[in-house]
Chain A
Amino acid sequence: MPCLDPDCWSIVRVCRLFISKRKSAPISSSPPKAQPPGIAQAWSRSILIPENRLREGNLESAGIELATEGADGVEKQIFRNLSGKKDRGVKSYDVTSPFFLRYRSVKATSLNQTHRDMNAKMVDFGGWDMPLHYGSQLDEHHRVRGGAGMFDVSHMLALDIKGETARDFLRQLVANNVDKLTQSGKALYSCMLNPEGGVIDDLIIYFLTESHFRLVVNAGTADKDLAWMLARRDEIAPGLEIIPRRDLAMIAVQGPEARARVWQVIAGSQAETENLKLFQATFFDKYFIARTGYTGEDGFEIMLPAVDAVEFWNALHAVGVAPAGLGARDTLRLEAGMNLYGQDMDDTTNPLESGLGWTVELKSDRNFIGKQALLEKPVKQQLIGLILLDRGVLRSHQRVITRPDQNEGEITSGGFSPTLEQSIALARLPLSVSAGDEVQVVVRDKMLRAKVVKYPFVRNGKILV
């Protein structure tokens, strides 16, 4: 038996030296356009991770990077042992060999190596190898609430919708009404529904021009979303271009000091972005800067060419912005009362029962996919907040028993709130429950008391409950 240790290079040398060229699936119906150098690399980056580490889910995933580098027809496969201290070779390999059968391909953002260099604990998140934390999730959380933190959110997918029929397509595609977008750069949060009224995904839509909108969708749902959009495009708006922008990196800089730190790093950007209102974005130089976020703090979400992401990230770090991982991102968004797709809503849940009624526009005569189902189905449940009164930690899927009627509900997202220093949750409960009530939560073999509250729990550093 050859050595199967992923850190051991010797086995790799005996693997056959070929691999089929990794190509991205054809996605836009429009003819491929000339791409600037670096895009091919951004498209095809993936990482091989030992299967047993993925099963553990939370083990550090020292792995092997497999990427296509170069562009303009001059491409080469590179193979890099990420668990080693330095690059040990540039070769291509047979991924069907027994050695590789123990590995699974996981996608990597352009900041992957940077996260590893910063000692991040990496996890598989929706098929992406992403940082969970860089040492302490709690510290990262507090840095964002009290100063400035940054998140690599390049795993999320930006899509450009281009063509004369863009607005009309989106009117029908999503539950919120894009007619609310009248000023260039303005953003809208919305759900994209299936005909049954279930949530395919939640997304942000930026209005740029009448023939150009930009969407940002979740990482884990990106393939599903794209397939859905392309199929609806063919029915509703043939000829409209839907262009995935994997050539872009996205970095969220969040916290009371976030904007000032960005202005320090991007020379000249202050004058252009100081007066951006919430949910407003603008292009500046190579950056697309939006005053949006997922933490309940002020800040920017910034798109830029993936090839420039490492330099930008390091520059932010140099001015005191703390790297923050998915762990802190989750506790921050939970405190801010922001939904997480796959937990608080999914294909089978109604947005009106997921705390997202405010994003569904039913008043106009506009017809959108899922509207009929929403109008026909009575709303029986609500998403509402819980604060645990006893000791313990609320977690998703725990049962909630309402009093005194003994109706049942379920926690959709729960955890320890670092700001409140107690456990909080979002729960889907019967409409009979209201803020101020006390409920019981089944935690293992105990019934714990929790108070029902309106969320958000925390906004702009202040506790609201």
Chain B
Amino acid sequence: MYSRPRIIPCLLLDENNGLVKTIQFKKPRYIGDPINAVKIFNNKGVDELCILGITITKRNSEISWELLEDIATEAFMPLSYGGGVRTLDDVKRLFSIGYEKVIFDTAIFTNPKLIEDSVAYAGSQSIVASIDVKSNLLSKSSCWIQCGTKNTKDAPASVARKVESLGVGEILLNSIDRDGMMNGYDLNLVKSVVESVSIPVIACGGAGSIEDINKVIQDGHAHAAAAGSVFVYYGRNRAILITYPGEEELKDRAI
């Protein structure tokens, strides 16, 4: 087995089809043209790309189909999409335009049958559940939906078991508190979810360096690591620069 875990840039799209980066799911900062970013990641031989439409559910708007098709045309790597997927027809359309995986978040709570139907249609390996977690002042974690605006009050581990029983093939675990902070993944959160299910868990939220990615895999036991800021920002002042580690660099850091 080739054991290097996947390292997945997470690209966020706003309502104007711009590429943005958030901090704690807020303050979206415009980064650039998503197609250009995808082309750069393509040339860097990225493991996988995760595309999230972050404003669709909240604004009750439509998926940007044309943009998603343009992205797929440029991407010769596995693609996943989440944000505003409401029907099985949306799921079918995503596969037909070249996406490998569909990500559900709010539907875990509002429409679990859609997730089951999607699993029956496409197989577990193509369906991902995104679990977005925020802690309250007492450090008690719960899952939030609608892009971090509504608290379900359910504990991460129990939601993880729920989505596993719905048949999803993997979990994208987001720490809202760590999003954009670049201060490391929430290792305790990752560990607790990894231990509660037998499906792969992709950790997301908090990566500030390749060391952080190494840590979440070694110590958090994540199956894969996703990140945003670390791949689009450079230096202390967060200059916009799209980067991705090469194979040699990953080998040097023992990933």
Verify that A and B bind, or say they do not: no
Chain A interfacial positions (CB closer than 8 Å to B)? none
